[in-house]
Amino acid sequence: MRIGGARRRLSAEGFDEGRRVRALLAALGLRAPLLALLGAVALAALAAPAPADWTRALALAAALLGAAALALVWRRLRRGLLAPLARLEQSLSRVCQGEPGASEQLRDLGVLAPIAEDIRDLNAELTDLYEDMDNRVARQTRRLAQKTASLKILYDVAAGIHQAESLEALLLRFLRVLKEMVNGRAATVRLVQPDGSRRLVGAIGLDDDLVREQDMAPVDLCLCGNVLAPGEILCDQDARYCARIYGRRMFASSEVEVVTVPLEHRDELLGVYSIFVDRPGVSMREDIMDLLFTVGHHLGMAIAKQRSDAEARRLSIVEERNALAHELHDSLAQTLASLRFQCRMLADALAEAPIPAPARTDLARIRNGLDEAHTELRELLASFRAPLDRRGLVPALAKLTERFGGETGIHVLFQNDTRPFELAAAAELQLLRIAQESLANIRKHARAHTVRVLLTREGARYVLLIEDDGVGFSAPVDGAHPGEHIGLSIMEERARRIDAALHIESEPGEGTRVEVVFDAGRRPAWETD
């Protein structure tokens, strides 16, 4: 450093007060005037005993020479020492005040030039230290701001886990947050389904057609699925793979890289964020990568908690239905069984008795009614005890239609035009019960030959359709008997529980059409209870 050089120079020269004084006098040119002054004094002293005129003249000349020497000494002291000291003081004052370029004014200071050079070196070193300190403060300030933002994001994630917010809304909210955090161009979030496929929850910055076409993608054909196999956050350095699989150019391969963030809980992959960022990306930013990993871990906990809560609600409903089935079995079912047994004993006792034919007809009708009531009660108990398929609504509907066709001999066609999805357990249960009630009505009243059950989906809108080619029925009229069309009322009540729309169309001889429209994007009141 420059200050170090000045210090080494002073150390080499040493510091001797007499030598420094002689050096200053020599630099100021004061030796000759002082010698002249000393010579004049010596001449005056030698001439003192002789009071001749020439002696007085010599003394006067010596006095004049001494005055001239003193004037020269003063002039050189002023120019060589006093004026530079004044400029040095002024420059030091400006340096202390922090004026830019103040040290450059320490020029042409004569004998004070080495001191001025040392001062310039010291000022330059202090300036470098100040700039370095400012840079460090700025870096620490930015780091503190990033830490604050990171803590805020983590707090929002932790709070969102315990808030009454739907899972998809939570994932979409942090999709935008993470995209903005890394200045991404686009981002997607997907949930892993039980069959291993990934359902697209939302996307920002991607083409709408691309989003619709890739609503569901198998893991083994997706970039995100490949890089997430180890369960780590990875940065893929080339987006051409996505473009090749999707069949279109997404981003220039030299412009972006893909950052994938797994949503995991207990080493189980539950979902993934994919963020397209400009090169160079964030793979070298350990703080951001750690934050992404932490956010992914917390959101994985949120997904696991939501699914655990849904499973708990499903099990609670199953337990309640089993309890109700037990009550019906121990009360009404036993009563019906006793009545059937007594009716059979009565028929056996009257078999040989001479009773009128109408009485025998009434007795047979009573027996048939009891048998039908007993059969319906057993079916009701079976439906109460039959748990909803853990794999979701589609497998449950497939099993229901298969059993219905086997028991009735009616040709049943089940069509599923949806890809794997997740619905709330309560919504799946109500839709399944509506389908069960519709098929039960077909069994008892329709005399149908063919039944079709169709499940379709468009976005978050689901449509369940049950139609038959049976005899149909007339629309209920006001003031009808309270026991009539009770099955239709039950289906309407079930639809209202999940804020679904129920449409029933039927004409005598034209069959019946039951349509349930459910919007999973809306958050009904039953989900927040």
CATH code (residue 166):
3.30.450.40
37-61 mean pLDDT = 63
Whether the Cβ atoms of residue 192 and residue 271 lie closer than 8 Å to each other: yes
Predicted pLDDT of residue 238: 53
Backbone angles phi, psi at 215, to 5 degrees: -55, -40
For 373-424, how does the pLDDT look when each residue is reduced to its tens digit (9 = 90+)? 887 787 777 766 655 555 678 888 998 899 889 888 999 999 998 876 667 7
Please tell me whether residues 288 and 244 are part of one structural domain: yes
pLDDT value, residue 410: 92
Same domain, 402 and 306: no
Determine the pLDDT at residue 283.
Answer: 66
What radius of gyration, in Å, describes the C-alpha atoms of the chain?
Answer: 50
The confidence band for 4, taking pLDDT boundaries of 50, 70 and 90, is very low
- Are 117 and 174 in the same domain? no
On the question of pLDDT at 481 being above 60, the answer is: no
**Residue 86 domain flag:** yes
pLDDT of 227 reads 38
Confidence band of 250 (pLDDT split at 50, 70, 90): low
CA 60 to chain CA mean position, Å:
101
pLDDT-based confidence at 502, cuts 50/70/90?
A: very high
Tally of CB atoms within 10 A around 274:
24
* 522 and 461 share one domain: yes
User: What SS3 state is found at 411?
Assistant: strand
**Dist CA 129 CA 117 (whole Å):** 18
Determine if the peptide bond prior to 280 is cis (ω within 30°).
yes
Q: What is the mean pLDDT of residues 103-112?
A: 64
Claim to verify: residue 495 and residue 428 sit in the same structural domain: yes
In a domain, 80, yes or no: yes
- pLDDT by residue (tens digit) across 322-363? 888 888 877 888 888 888 888 888 888 877 777 788 887 888
On whether both 398 and 431 belong to a single domain, the answer is yes
Torsion of CA 62, 68, 72, 74, to 10 degrees: 100
- One-letter amino acid at 411 equals H
Q: Rounded CA gap, 517 and 456, in Å?
A: 10
Mean pLDDT score of the chain, rounded to an integer? 74
Confirm if 324 and 384 have CB atoms less than 8 A apart.
Answer: yes
**Per the domain annotation, does 355 fall within a domain?**
no
Confidence at 42, pLDDT banded by 50, 70, 90? low
pLDDT for position 229: 41
Quickly state the pLDDT bin for 482 (edges 50, 70, 90).
very low
pLDDT reading at 62 higher than 60: yes
CA-based nearest residue to 518, from 438, 436, 404, 429: 429
What's the whole-number mean pLDDT along residues 465-490?
72
**pLDDT (0 to 100) of residue 528:** 41
- Segments in 329-424 forming alpha helices (H): 334-349, 357-385, 393-408
Q: Are residues 53 and 122 in the same domain?
A: yes
Q: 301 and 155, same structural domain?
A: yes
C-alpha to C-alpha distance for 216 and 422, rounded to whole angstroms: 13
Query: Which of 290, 310, 330 is where one domain is finished?
Result: 310
Q: Which long-range contacts (CB under 8 A, 24 or more apart) does 39-45 make?
A: 40/65, 40/66, 40/69, 41/66
Is a pLDDT exceeding 50 seen at residue 15? no
**Residues 472, 509 contacting (CB under 8 angstroms):** yes
pLDDT of 156: 77
User: How far, rounded to the nearest angstrom, does the alpha carbon of residue 51 sit from its chain's CA centroid?
Assistant: 112
Pick the last residue of a domain from 60, 94, 128: 128
Domain boundary among 310, 340, 364: 310
Task: Note whether residue 375 is domain-resident.
Answer: no
Pair (171, 73) in one structural domain: no
State how many domains the chain has.
Answer: 3
Q: Is residue 292 within 8 Å of 261, Cβ to Cβ?
A: yes
Give residue 6's pLDDT: 39
**pLDDT class for 217, splitting at 50, 70, 90?**
very low
pLDDT at 512 over 90: yes
What is the arithmetic mean of pLDDT over 490-495?
A: 88
Do 81 and 156 lie in one domain? The reply is no
In a shared domain, residues 408 and 511: yes
Where would I find the beta strands (DSSP E) of 92-227?
184-192, 198-204, 216-217
8 Å CB contact between 74 and 37 = no
Query: Does residue 136 carry a pLDDT above 50?
Result: yes
So what's the pLDDT on residue 121?
Answer: 77
pLDDT computed for residue 349 by the predictor = 80
Is 3 part of a structural domain of the chain?
no
Return the higher-pLDDT residue of 36 and 189: 189
Q: What pLDDT is attached to residue 5?
A: 43
| Domain annotation covers residue 186 | yes
Instruction: Indicate if the alpha-carbon torsion angle 336, 337, 341, 344 is positive or negative.
Output: positive
**Is 433 part of any domain?**
yes
What's the average model confidence in pLDDT over 102-131?
Answer: 72
For residues 287 and 401, membership in a common domain is answered with no
**Contact yes or no for 261/296 (Cβ under 8 A):** yes
Phi-psi region of 276 (alpha: psi -120 to 50; beta: other; left: phi over 0): beta
CB contact at 8 A, 453 and 466: yes
What's 440's domain CATH number?
3.30.565.10
Would you give the end-to-end CA distance of the chain in angstroms? 73
**Domain membership flag for residue 493:** yes
Cβ distance 128 to 3 under 8 Å?
Answer: no
Neighbouring residues of 310: CB distance < 8 A, sequence distance ≥ 6: 424, 425
User: pLDDT digit string (tens) for 168-204?
Assistant: 888 888 888 888 888 888 888 988 877 677 778 888 8
| Side-chain half-sphere exposure of 198, counting CA atoms within 13 A | 27
Higher per-residue pLDDT: 450 or 3:
450
Q: How far apart are CA 86 and CA 473, in angstroms?
A: 116
Residue 242's pLDDT is 59
- d(CA 372, CA 75) in angstroms, rounded, equals 136
Q: Which of 86, 120, 82 is nearest to 102 (CA)?
A: 120
Task: Return d(Cα 231, Cα 246) in angstroms, integer.
Answer: 24
Give the percent of the chain with pLDDT over 70: 67
Full domain range(s) for residue 46: 18-128
Over residues 246-270, the mean pLDDT reads: 74
Structure pTM? 0.52
